[in-house]
Structure 1
Amino acid sequence: MSDDLRVAVLGVGMMGSFHASTLSTAVKGATVTVINDFSAGTAAKVSAGIPGSRVVADPFEAINADDVDAVVIATPGAAHEEQVLACLERGIPVLCEKPLTTGIDTAYRIVQREAELGRQLIQLGFMRRFDTEYAELRALIADGGLGAPLMVHCTHRNPDVPPHFNSEFMIRDSVVHEVDVVRFLLDTEITAITVHKGLATSRAPEGVNDPMLVVFETSTGAVATDEIYVRTGVAYEVRTEVVGETGSALIGLDQNLVRTTTDGRWGGTLTPGFVQRFGAAYHAELQRWVNAARNGTIDGPGAWDGYAAVAVCEAGVEAVRTGQRVEVRMSPRP
Structure 2
Amino acid sequence: MRTVGVGVIGAGVMGAEHARILAGDVAGAHLVAVADADLSRAEAAAQGARATTDALALIADPAVEAVLVASPDATHHRLVLAAIAAGKPVLCEKPLAASTAECLEIVAAERRAGRQLVQTGFMRRFDPAYREMKVALDSKALGALRILHCQHRNAAAPAWFTGAMAITNSLVHEIDVCRWLLSTEYSAVTVIPCPSEAGGSGDPALFVFETEAGSLVSVEVFMNAVYGYHVHAEAVCAGGTIGMAHPALTRTRRDGAEEGAFPANWVPRFRDAYRLQNQAWIDGIRSATPPADASTAWDGLVATCLADQIVEAMATRRRTPLVLPERPH
Report the TM-score range of the alignment, normalised by the length of the smaller protein: over 0.9
Partner of 1:154: 150
d(CA) in 1 for partners of 2:278, 2:249: 26
Question: Which residue is equivalent to 1:293?
Answer: 285
Alignment of 1:83 with 2:79, yes or no, is: yes
The separation in 1 between residues aligned to 2:122 and 2:131, in whole angstroms, is: 13
Q: Is the 8 A contact 2:194 2:200 kept in 1?
A: no
Q: Residue 235 of structure 2 aligns to a residue in which SS?
A: strand
Q: CA deviation at 1:40?
A: 2.4
- Name the residue aligned to 2:39: 40
Aligned residue number for residue 13 of structure 2: 14
Going from structure 1 to structure 2, the CA distance change for 1:249 and 1:45 (only over 3 Å counts) comes to same
- Secondary structure of the residue aligned to 1:294 is helix
Q: What is the TM-score when the length of structure 1 is the normalising length?
A: 0.92
Q: CA deviation at 1:296?
A: 4.2
Pair 1:120-2:116 in alignment = yes
1:284 paired residue among 266, 276, 285: 276
Query: In 2, are the aligned partners of 1:29 and 1:290 still within 8 Å (CA)?
Result: yes
Q: Distance in 1 between matches of 2:319 and 2:19?
A: 40
Once the two structures are superposed, residues 69-116 of structure 1 have per-residue CA deviations (whole angstroms, 9 ceiling, x without a partner) of 000001111111111111111111110000011111221222222223
- C-alpha distance in structure 2 between counterparts of 1:259 and 1:32, whole Å: 39
Q: Which amino acid aligns with 1:267?
A: E
Indicate if the aligned counterparts of 2:248 and 2:260 stay in contact, CA closer than 8 A. Answer: no
Matches of 1:151 and 1:222, distance apart in 2: 6
- Partners of 2:107 and 2:245 lie apart in 1 by 32
What is the aligned partner in structure 1 of residue 232 from structure 2?
Answer: 239
| Contact kept in structure 2, 1:98 and 1:126, CA below 8 Å | yes
The structural deviation recorded for 1:210 is 1.1
| 8 Å CA contact retained: 2:153, 2:224 | yes
CA drift of 1:16 comes to 0.5
- Between 320-329 and 134-143, report the one with greater CA deviation: 320-329
Q: 3-state DSSP class of the match of 1:72?
A: strand
Q: Give yes or no for contact 1:156–1:227 (8 Å, CA) kept in 2.
A: yes
How far apart are the structure 2 equivalents of 1:56 and 1:261? 52
Unpaired segments ≥5 residues, structure 1: none
How far does residue 163 in structure 1 lie from its aligned partner after superposition?
1.0
Partners of 1:175 and 1:78 lie apart in 2 by 18
Question: Could you tell me which of 257, 264, 271 is aligned with 1:272?
Answer: 264
Residues 256 and 32 from structure 1, CA distance in 2 versus in 1: closer, same or farther, beyond 3 angstroms?
Answer: closer
Deviates more, 1:103-112 or 1:223-232: 103-112
Contact 1:210–1:230 (8 Å) recurs in 2: yes
Root-mean-square deviation (Å): 1.9
Identity of matched residues, %: 35
1:115-134 Cα offsets, whole Å, 9 max, x none, are 23232111111111111111
Mapping of residues 1-334 of structure 1, within 5 Å: 3-47=2-46, 50-51=47-48, 53-200=49-196, 202=197, 207-256=200-249, 258=251, 263=256, 265-299=257-291, 300-334=294-328
1:323 Cα offset (Å): 2.6
User: Given that residues 193 and 328 in structure 1 are in contact (C-alpha distance below 8 angstroms), is that contact kept between their aligned partners in structure 2?
Assistant: yes
What does the per-residue CA deviation read over 1:50-74, in whole Å, with 9 as the maximum and x for residues that have no partner?
22x1123221111111110000001
Q: CA deviation at 1:45?
A: 2.6
* Aligned amino acid, residue 280 of structure 1: D
Gaps of 5+ in 2: none
Structure 1 residues 246 and 109: alpha-carbon distance in aligned structure 2, compared to 1, 3 A threshold: same
| TM-score (ref. length: structure 2) | 0.93
Deviating more after overlay: 79-88 vs 54-63: 54-63
> What amino acid sits opposite 1:273 in the alignment?
N
1:211-257 superposed Cα distances (whole Å, 9 cap, x missing partner): 11111121112111111111111111111011112221111423556
Q: One-letter code of the match for 2:79?
A: Q
Q: CA deviation at 1:327?
A: 2.3
> 2:199 and 2:156 mapped to 1: Cα distance?
16
Asked whether the equivalents of residues 146 and 238 of structure 2 are also in contact (C-alpha less than 8 Å), the reply is: yes
Shift in Å, 1:316: 1.2
The 8 Å contact of residues 93 and 298 in structure 1, kept in 2 or not, is answered as: no
Q: How far is the alpha carbon of 1:261 from its aligned partner? A: 8.3
Could you tell me whether the CA contact under 8 Å between 2:100 and 2:305 is conserved in 1?
yes
1:260 CA displacement: 5.0
Letter in 1 for 2:267: V
